[in-house]
């Protein structure tokens, strides 16, 4: 992708503009197994708190720390979010629906109990 971006810039930047592109680092993307014990524990916790089956989406696998945790520590990550569709996540007018966020924090507590094998 780095090379493709460089080619795009070379083709589109006027010759009067001086520019430099430096490659700093990269991480590989990762797909977490939806049937892993960790994901199943989170699914159970979310179902308990939100009283409905969660919708799985493939987002966040390009976060550098996710592949680092897998490569260095040998562990899978469980990524979940508690924003609503109109929260404008990472936008200039981002908001957070507090009742949903509070349920999300409750789900995290349930997840920790489930993953630890402890009764609640």
Write out the residue range of the structural domain in which residue 73 sits. 28-116
Q: What is the CATH number of the domain that holds 97?
A: 1.10.150
| Residue 19 within a domain | no
Tokens found for residue 43: 């699914």
Tokens found for residue 77: 């990550």
CA dihedral angle for residue 56, residue 59, residue 61, residue 66, rounded to 10 degrees: -80
Quote the pTM value.
0.74
| Residue 84 within a domain | yes
Whats the size of the chain, residue-wise? 120
Quote the number of domains for the chain. Answer: 1
Which range has the worst mean pLDDT, 13-17, 52-56, 73-77?
Answer: 73-77
Please state, in angstroms and rounded to a whole number, the distance separating the CA atoms of residues 56 and 100: 17
pLDDT tens-place string over residues 69-114: 888 999 888 989 898 889 998 889 999 999 999 999 999 999 999 9
């Amino acid at each position: 992708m780095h090379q493709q971006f460089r080619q795009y810039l070379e083709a589109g930047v006027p010759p009067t503009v001086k520019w430099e592109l430096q490659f700093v680092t990269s991480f590989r993307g990762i797909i977490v197994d939806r049937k892993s014990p960790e994901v199943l524990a989170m699914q159970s916790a979310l179902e308990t708190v939100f009283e409905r089956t969660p919708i799985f989406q493939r987002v966040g696998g390009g976060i550098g720390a996710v592949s680092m945790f897998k490569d260095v520590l040998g562990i899978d990550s469980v990524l979940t979010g508690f924003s609503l569709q109109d929260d404008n996540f990472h936008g200039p007018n981002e908001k957070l629906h507090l009742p949903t966020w509070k349920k999300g924090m409750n789900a995290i507590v349930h997840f920790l109990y489930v993953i630890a094998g402890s009764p609640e």
